[in-house]
Amino acid sequence: KAGVTQTPRYLIKTRGQQVTLSCSPISGHRSVSWYQQTPGQGLQFLFEYFSETQRNKGNFPGRFSGRQFSNSRSEMNVSTLELGDSALYLCASSLVGQKQETQYFGPGTRLLVL
């Protein structure tokens, strides 16, 4: 079974631009979560999607948004990029997102904002 895939793997943007990242979960998984990893803040939860609905949201500004499609693929969008948005963005998938399920992470998208 193929693992979680994320595209693109690397991205360079400038302040004020917007960016869209994509995540394809493991086949059959319906829950997709997004995390941001930075040296200063570590790994922080952004949001979770299940059955095309945002089910849980972390403490990030409204510039960060996401969506999920009927095939469970998910995208996250960051508008009006700031330097501090430079990070590794990780998505994780699980079957239905229940509390004791293992979450499987993708390789991440490294975003650099100049």
Partner 1 sequence: SQQGEEDPQALSIQEGENATMNCSYKTSINNLQWYRQNSGRGLVHLILIRSNEREKHSGRLRVTLDTSKKSSSLLITASRAADTASYFCATGETSGSRLTFGEGTQLTVNP
Q: Which residues bind partner 1 (CB under 8 A)?
A: 4, 31, 33, 35, 37, 41-45, 48, 55-56, 58, 88, 90, 92, 94, 97-108, 110
Q: Judged by CB, which is closer to partner 1: 62, or 99? A: 99
111 burial level (CB within 10 Å; 0-12, 13-18, 19+): buried
DSSP labels, 23-50: EEPPTT--EEEEEEEETTTEEEEEEEEE
Q: Which is nearer to partner 1, 81 or 89 (CB)?
A: 89
Question: CA-to-CA distance for 20 and 18, rounded, in angstroms?
Answer: 7
C-alpha count within 13 angstroms, C-beta hemisphere, residue 4: 26
Name the minimum Å distance from CB 82 to partner 1.
Answer: 19
Q: Nearest distance from residue 71's CB to partner 1, in Å?
A: 20
For partner 1, the closer of residues 79 and 110 by Cβ is: 110
Asked whether 104 and 89 are in contact (CB, 8 A), the reply is: no
* 20/58 with CB nearer partner 1: 58
